[in-house]
Structure formats: C-alpha cells, structure tokens
Amino acid sequence: MLSTKNYKLRSISACVALGALALAVGCRGFFVKPNVTSVAIGPANLSIAPATTGQMVATATYDDGSTSDVTGRAVWFSSNTSVATFSSPGKLLAAALTDLPTLPAQTDVTASVGTVSSSSQTVNVCPVVQSLTLTVNGGASWSGPGGTTVVFKVDATFNGVTGTTDATSFVTWNISNTSVLPSIDTSGNGTTNLGVPNTLTNVTASLCGATSHVVTVTTTS
C-alpha cells in the first residue's frame, strides 16, 4: 500500500508530465512550417535584347498570409528554349540574334515551388533597333487607283549587327485610315480599296519599341 507521501509525489509527477505534454501540443503550432499556396513571378512584360540576360523574381504566398522571395529556390521553366533559357534561378539568357526564330521572339516563363506553380509571364526578346526604313513600292509615298496591290518593305538596322536586315515580316503595321488600305500582310502586300478616290492614309511600321517614319498611300479613283 502506497504511503500518503509517495502517492502525493507520484501525483505531482503525473501532473508535471501531463502539463509538459499539453504545453508541447499547444505550442506545436508555433513551429509548423507554413505551406505555399501560390507563387507569383515578375516583372510583367519583360523585354530583353538578344544575347543578354533579364532577371525574374518569384514571390511565394503562404497559408498563414505571409510572403517571401523564393527566386533562388524556385524551379524555373522557359517554354521556348530556342528563344531564352535560365542560366541560374530567375536569370533568363536570351539567344543570339542570328539564332532567334522570329523578331520579336517570345517565350512563356513559369516558376514552381514544390507542387505549386505560377501563372506564366511572356518575355519578349527584341534587339535594340537603330533605325527602321519603310518604303511603299520602293518610295516614300504612292498614289494610284483603288484595287491596286502595293508592296511595303522595312529595312532595319540593329545594335551589334552589321548591315541591314529585311524586317518586313516581323513588324506591326499601323494604318491611319483602313477605308483606304484595310491591311498589310506579313509579306508587306496590301490592296487599296475601290470607291474611296482622293483619300489618303498614313502608314508606319513598329518593331521592338521603334517606329518608322510615315509613308502615304492615296487612292485617285
């Protein structure tokens, strides 16, 4: 039979053990690592020149509402490795100008932390344009009857590239009056409309942030 003294000691020890266990359970939440719920990457609309690098950043949001920079531990992906690849976490290396499939060239970039992936961001690889020279039928302007096919051409010069490059198929066309000239295709061909005599439209070409001078097209009948 236990003495009163031993019984009290055992009771105290049991209470201490239970208290320690309860404290450990109660405090455990302070030491649980939060889970990643989403990953965001930036900057948006990044544009880099061929054979140069651009830095992407990944930010994780956790289930406790906190955020942190996870650029260094994220796994990065480029959808078009012929345009750009990651040389280190977040650092995107663009291909050389002569290796690019188009101008501007694009790749979609994502980053993953564990099983959580970011939405994609499109990165443009564009050379630094020194000049864009636009002509229509070989000159700075054209005038003639509606229903005529006219031919536009864009010669570009780029930093680090000797000579000119035919950039006609790569540019974005800007037409001030589409009732005269509805569109221009990737070969530079456009057909003027019938029924809009003595009407003029201005045309420019844009590429990688640069815009050409204006050429004019006028229908005479």
For 12-31, the pLDDT digits (tens) are 554 455 455 444 444 444 55
pLDDT-derived band at 214, boundaries 50, 70, 90: very high
Tokens 């345009």 sit at which residue? 83
Residue 52 has pLDDT above 80, yes or no: yes
Residue 132 clears pLDDT 90, i.e. is over it:
yes
Q: Are residues 40 and 106 in the same domain?
A: yes
Tell me, yes or no, whether 51 lies in a domain: yes
Higher pLDDT, 163 or 70: 70
Token pair recorded at residue 192: 């003027």
Do 106 and 143 have their domain in common?
A: no
Sheet of strand 53-55, all strands in order from the earlier edge strand to the far edge = 53-55, 91-94, 84-88
**Helices within the chain (DSSP H only):** 4-27
Number of domains in the chain: 2
Residue 23, in any domain of the structure: no
Q: Considering 125, 149, 174, which residue would you say is the last residue of a domain?
A: 125
Average pLDDT over residues 121-127: 93
Q: 159, 156, 92, 166: which is closest to 125 by C-alpha?
A: 92
The per-residue pLDDT of the chain, averaged, comes to 88
Same domain, 139 and 92: no
- Would you state the structure tokens that stand for residue 133, as one six-digit string? 């020279």
Judgement on whether residues 110 and 146 belong to the same structural domain of the protein: no
Q: Do 107 and 41 share a domain, yes or no?
A: yes
Boundaries of domain holding 203: 129-219
pLDDT at 160: 76
Q: How far is CA 180 from the centre of its chain?
A: 34
121 and 134 fall within a common domain: no
What does the pLDDT read at residue 11? 53
CATH number of the domain to which 213 belongs: 2.60.40
Choose one of 109, 125, 141: the last residue of a domain.
125
* Same domain, residue pair 98 and 149: no
Q: Has residue 21 been placed in a domain?
A: no
The token pair at 28 is 């455990």
Question: What's the whole-model pTM score?
Answer: 0.66
Q: Give residue 21's pLDDT.
A: 47
Residue 86 belongs to some domain of the structure: yes
Model confidence at 93: pLDDT above 90 = yes
Residue 2 lies in a domain: no
- Picking from 193, 134, 173, 158, the residue whose alpha carbon sits closest to that of residue 51 is 158
Euclidean distance between the first and the last CA atom of the chain, given in angstroms as a whole number: 123
d(CA 201, CA 27) in angstroms, rounded, equals 74
| Residue whose C-alpha is closest to residue 123's, from 109, 141, 140, 142 | 109
Q: Shortest CA distance to 179 belongs to which of 190, 191, 193, 165?
A: 193
From CA 139, how far away is CA 153, in angstroms rounded? 10
Decide if 20 is inside a domain: no
29 is a domain residue: no
DSSP lists the bridge partners of residue 158 as 129
74 plus 102 within the same structural domain: yes
Asked which of 106, 125, 144 is the last residue of a domain, the reply is 125
Comparing 22 with 184, the larger pLDDT belongs to 184
